[in-house]
């Protein structure tokens, strides 16, 4: 049985227990609390939060002394009590196709592993995928995952805790640091920026790294508020996609609280099979899941739900499965993403043959759906997160045909 959502440590608060906690990644409310804690007068707090916000999220500064419109006295006080430290980038790997993978170590937090009396900071991977018209950052919402989907490597990891909203936001901060991509900085000349006026190196975010975002909805929703804030990091909500394995009751709430785009990890069209692939299906079967999708706020042809379907050889990849998929999704504004399975050591599954994937894609395409096949980006650096999007030219052209 998968562990219950309530079993895991909820690391919601920023690490204010640390000697000098970092303010990077905080929400406006957390910044206000941090200011009140160092006796900034009530009447000044809103204005000071606005200033800090701009320096931290628009300019990406790492030093309080750069905050020129903040008095020297307050700058010193801030530096005495807080930092602008980022989590540590342990390694950076760059794939031959430009995909970058960072191993990020968070500061130690409650719920982390203790080794030899020392709390070890959680490590998560974050993947950046540049394309000609966008740059996508794949972020994690939890360390590990309680859900044990049988084809997913993350589900086999023992330790699980929620990431705080601060830790979720810090993943974008790290990416912007690495890519020189803060709006308040001169655009980098290192060639990462996709072409197009006003397009940032990171223009899109997908919650397709580790974890089930809807089991950490409060922190994901706070983080989304920071990511999409127009005075700071300024990501468009239409370019932020949250992927869920199907926590049906929380799906409408995700939409009403965040306005994010929704992706559903469907992977099977029959309950008996989906029970095996995504055990959460036993709790929320396909019919309930699709009903929750129909109730997703703001759904329209311009704001479709993405249905992810991992292609598993001889398991879910028959023409009958493809036709049933089309039938099931009737009436839901949908896109379908076929994901070639990424093998990992010890897995019982294999990826479907390319001809079978094409056959499946043909059926879905004929029914009027864009059906881009996402082949793994950054395979040489094992950057195998769910958002792996580089279709063959033929399939890319098809997808565009339907989207335009
Ligand atoms: N827990 C959430 C989000 C993270 S998983 C969810 O399940 O939706 C992101 C995506 O990667 C999901 O669609 C997931 O099914 C897919 N995925 C997981 N393991 C995979 C693998 N080995 N190969 C291909 N896709 C995989
Ligand atoms: Fe968790 Fe998603 Fe992996 Fe399932 S596919 S185990 S929900 S991360």
Largest CA distance in the chain: 70
CATH 1.10.357 fits 28-81, yes or no: no
Nearest ligand 1 atom to alpha carbon 344:
22
| Tokens 């076929």 -> residue | 338
298 C-alpha to ligand 2 centroid (Å) = 26
**From residue 347, how far is each of 224, 338, 371, 389 by CA, in Å?**
33, 19, 26, 22
Q: Is the CB of 360 under 6 A from ligand 1?
A: no
Which ranges in the chain are annotated with CATH 1.10.150? Answer: 28-81
- What's the burial of 341, exposed, middle or buried (CB within 10 Å: 0-12/13-18/19+)? buried
Q: At what angle do helices 251-258 and 217-227 cross, to 10 degrees?
A: 30
Secondary structure, 3-state, 241-288: EEEECCCHHHHHHHHHHHCCEEEEECCCCCHHHHHHHCHHHHCCCHHH
Range scoring the smallest mean pLDDT among 12-26, 37-51, 247-261, 363-377 = 12-26
> What's residue 186's pLDDT?
53
Q: What is the C-alpha to C-alpha distance for residues 185 and 198, in angstroms, rounded to an integer? A: 13
What does pLDDT average to over the chain? 86
Which ranges in the chain are annotated with CATH 3.20.20.70? Answer: 88-398
3-state secondary structure of 337: strand
Label residue 388 by pLDDT band (50, 70, 90): very low
Give the pLDDT mean for 38-47: 96
CATH no. for 88-398: 3.20.20.70
Predicted model pTM? 0.89
Nearest CA to ligand 1 atom 15: 265
- Does residue 324 have an active-site annotation? no
Q: What is the C-alpha to C-alpha distance for residues 135 and 26, in angstroms, rounded to an integer? A: 24
pLDDT above 80 for 211: yes
pLDDT above 70 for 150: yes
> What's residue 95's pLDDT?
86
Give the pLDDT mean for 8-20: 54
Highest mean pLDDT among 183-197, 329-343, 363-377 belongs to 329-343
Share of the chain above pLDDT 90, in %: 68
Q: Is the CB of 212 under 6 A from ligand 1?
A: yes
pLDDT in tens, 252-302: 999 999 999 999 999 999 999 999 999 999 999 999 999 999 999 999 999
pLDDT above 50 for 31: yes
3-state secondary structure of 402: helix
Q: Is the dihedral of CA 47, 49, 51, 57 positive or negative?
A: negative
Nearest ligand 2 atom to alpha carbon 146:
1
Instruction: Give the residue, out of 310, 348, 350, 383, with the most ligand 1 atoms within 8 A of its beta carbon, to mutate for a pocket test.
Output: 310
pLDDT in tens, 168-188: 999 999 999 998 888 766 554
Label residue 137 by pLDDT band (50, 70, 90): very high
Cα torsion through 255, 259, 261, 267, rounded to 10: -10
pLDDT above 90 for 205: yes
> What's residue 287's pLDDT?
97
- What's the burial of 68, exposed, middle or buried (CB within 10 Å: 0-12/13-18/19+)? exposed
- Determine which one of 125, 167, 308, 391 is catalytic: 125
For residues 120 and 114, the answer to whether their CB atoms sit within 8 Å is yes
CA proximity to 89, closest of 100, 75, 77: 100
Q: Which two tokens stand for residue 321?
A: 């499965």
pLDDT above 70 for 161: yes
3-state secondary structure of 394: helix
| Tokens 């970092």 -> residue | 22
Q: What is the C-alpha to C-alpha distance for residues 346 and 155, in angstroms, rounded to an integer? A: 13
CA proximity to 223, closest of 124, 140, 147: 140
Q: Residue 184, CB half-sphere, CA atoms under 13 Å: how many?
A: 15
- Does residue 253 have an active-site annotation? no
Give the pLDDT mean for 15-42: 89
Give the pLDDT mean for 336-359: 93
Range scoring the smallest mean pLDDT among 89-103, 288-302, 318-332 = 89-103
Residue predicted with more confidence, 394 or 168: 168
> What's residue 358's pLDDT?
93
Q: Is the CB of 339 under 6 A from ligand 1?
A: yes
Label residue 98 by pLDDT band (50, 70, 90): confident
> What's residue 133's pLDDT?
83
């Amino acid at each position: 049985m998968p562990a219950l959502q309530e079993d895991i440590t909820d690391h919601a608060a920023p690490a204010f227990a640390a000697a000098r906690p970092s303010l990077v990644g905080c929400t406006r409310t957390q910044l206000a609390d941090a200011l009140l804690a160092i006796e900034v007068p009530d009447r000044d707090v809103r204005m000071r939060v606005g200033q800090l916000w701009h320096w931290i999220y628009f300019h990406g500064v790492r030093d309080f002394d750069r905050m020129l419109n903040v008095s020297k006295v307050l700058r010193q006080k801030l530096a005495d009590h807080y930092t602008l430290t980022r989590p540590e980038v342990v390694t950076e790997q760059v794939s031959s196709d430009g995909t970058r993978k960072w191993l990020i170590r968070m500061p130690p937090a409650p719920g982390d592993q203790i080794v030899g009396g020392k709390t070890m900071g959680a490590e998560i991977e974050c993947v950046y995928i540049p394309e000609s018209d966008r740059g996508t950052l794949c972020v994690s919402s939890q360390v590990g995952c309680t859900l044990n989907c049988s084809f997913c490597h993350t589900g086999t990891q023992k330790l699980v805790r929620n990431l705080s909203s601060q830790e979720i936001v810090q993943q974008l901060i790290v990416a912007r640091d690495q890519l020189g991509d803060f709006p308040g900085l001169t655009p980098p000349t290192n060639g990462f920026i996709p072409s197009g006026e006003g397009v940032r190196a990171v223009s899109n975010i997908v919650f397709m790294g580790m974890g089930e975002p809807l089991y950490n909805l409060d922190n994901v929703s706070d983080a989304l508020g920071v990511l999409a804030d127009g005075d700071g990091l300024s990501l468009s909500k239409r370019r932020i996609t949250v992927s869920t394995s199907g926590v049906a009751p929380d799906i409408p709430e995700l939409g009403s609280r965040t306005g994010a785009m929704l992706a559903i990890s469907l992977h099977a069209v029959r309950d008996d099979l989906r029970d095996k692939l995504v055990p959460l299906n036993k709790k929320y079967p396909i019919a309930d899941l699709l009903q929750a999708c129909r109730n997703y706020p703001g759904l329209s042809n311009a704001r479709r739900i993405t249905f992810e379907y991992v292609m598993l050889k001889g398991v879910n990849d028959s023409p009958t499965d493809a036709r049933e998929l089309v039938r099931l999704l009737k009436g839901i504004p949908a896109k379908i993403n076929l994901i070639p399975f990424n093998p990992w050591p010890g897995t019982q599954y294999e990826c479907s043959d390319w001809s079978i994937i094409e056959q499946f894609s043909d059926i879905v395409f004929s029914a009027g759906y864009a059906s881009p096949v996402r082949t793994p980006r950054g395979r040489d650096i094992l950057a195998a997160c769910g958002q792996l999007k580089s279709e063959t030219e033929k399939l890319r052209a098809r997808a565009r045909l339907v989207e335009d």
